[in-house]
Chains A and B, each alone.
Chain A
Amino acid sequence: KQEVTQIPAALSVPEGENLVLNCSFTDSAIYNLQWFRQDPGKGLTSLLLIQSSQREQTSGRLNASLDKSSGRSTLYIAASQPGDSATYLCAVPNSGYALNFGKGTSLLVTP
């Protein structure tokens, strides 16, 4: 059974810092890996999807990497802003494409 773990559980940084969120998974036979953002009281917004054949994906100040062999992914956020404050979730699909999620990293960026 696929287990997804995210470290740290919570993170507080001052505005402008670069930061890294970590995600690990136990079964390396994955189709892809997704990073989501969740704001309080809101649904999930997909940030980046990395296919199993890719090593990384970039969108604006976000960069996600994938190392299937070691079962790890990182989400790098450059020049953090208070608007980046949210919970970040990583997820990998099972054989039927439903997602297995980690518990998330709660990020607070202070002005």
Chain B
Amino acid sequence: SAVISQKPSRDICQRGTSLTIQCQVDSQVTMMFWYRQQPGQSLTLIATANQGSEATYESGFVIDKFPISRPNLTFSTLTVSNMSPEDSSIYLCSVEEGLAVADTQYFGPGTRLTVL
């Protein structure tokens, strides 16, 4: 499976600031996703990062708060904007491998964000 790295691995930020998280894959992939895991909660899909076009956001998530870039098939960024303590979460990128309609997603190591 693809090797996925994320930067930073963790950060502590002040409220009102923004943080950009990078996701790098060692091979070209069509589908990349961003998830959030809030403390004690499950993983929730934020958006699908589309190469060359705007990301597709899930209900409850908006571009102004979570702008996403996908400049090529191996890289994506997620920005958490105007942060508040409620944004404290683990943020994960994932990639889907394979050409079937339903394929397995593989996850990066995650970015643990704490907002004070």
A joins B in a complex: no
Binding site for A on B (CB under 8 A): none
Using a CB–CB distance below 8 Å, which chain A residues touch chain B? none
